[in-house]
Amino acid sequence: MFIEKAVISMNFLRQEYGNKEVLLEIELLAIKNFIDHANRQIDQIKRRVINDEVIPHKEKVFSIFEEHTEWISKGKQGVPVELGLRVCILSDQYNFILHHRIMQKEVDSQIAIPMIQETLNKFSDFNACSFDKGFYSPSNQKNLSNILDLVVMPKKGYLSQERKAIEESEEFKKYKRKHSGVESDINAIEVHGLDRCLDQGINSFNRYVALAVTARNIQQLGVIIKKRKLKKLKRKFQTKDTS
């Protein structure tokens, strides 16, 4: 009933004002979008409740206001599921974020090679990288080994004796330990605005992420400058004490 009333009202406004009011037409298109969502939801409810049909994940909509929103299974105790978009970051040994990628309908294993190739386009001397287990696949391991001098990518599941020897090597362990630094970088960009995006639309989300990454890098630069100044100041006082 409410949908029918909305359609009648839209048709009346179009007949009354035609195409003269551009802003009105934009608002009417927004209303039509909500009507389409309502019809989709009604259809899915009928299929699920009455027909006992399992709705495919790709047909589900988790936000009618931010349609790019995805269901993210974290697999962690306390916060098993989140709604939003995944963001992958690649940072260096100095905690500067070199590259980021907003993942739409992608998983870690699908973006390992694009992330590295895009980073190499910006930083030609980039030659080693440590990954989480989620990025592992035999093809990723093989292809990345042809691109980088060192690939630290823990394998999921059973380890052969050969693979076990690789992952227990000192070099592998060394770079794997360093990987924990990316967790602080993730936390830092959340602190710098990425915990919750207040803008609307996927383009605004892309901009929001880029600004959060930029803010993190500026902060890290400030940390380095501050440390250098404190070190210089400390040396100055030590010189005075000895004179």
pLDDT digit string (tens) for 176-206?
Answer: 887 777 777 888 888 777 777 778 889 989 9
The alpha-helical segments, DSSP class H, found in 151-201 are 161-167, 170-178, 181-189
22: pLDDT confidence band, cut at 50, 70 and 90?
A: low
pLDDT at 8 over 90: no
Beta-carbon neighbour count of residue 235 at 10 Å? Answer: 10
Using DSSP, state whether 168 is helix, strand or coil: coil
Q: What's the predicted TM-score (pTM) here?
A: 0.76
pLDDT at 123 over 80: yes
Give domain 70-224's CATH number out of 3.30.70, 3.30.420, 3.30.450, 3.20.20.
3.30.420
* pLDDT at residue number 76: 67
What stretch(es) of the chain map to CATH 3.30.420? 70-224
pLDDT at 74 over 80: no
Integer Cα distance of 241 and 170 in angstroms: 44
7: pLDDT confidence band, cut at 50, 70 and 90?
A: confident
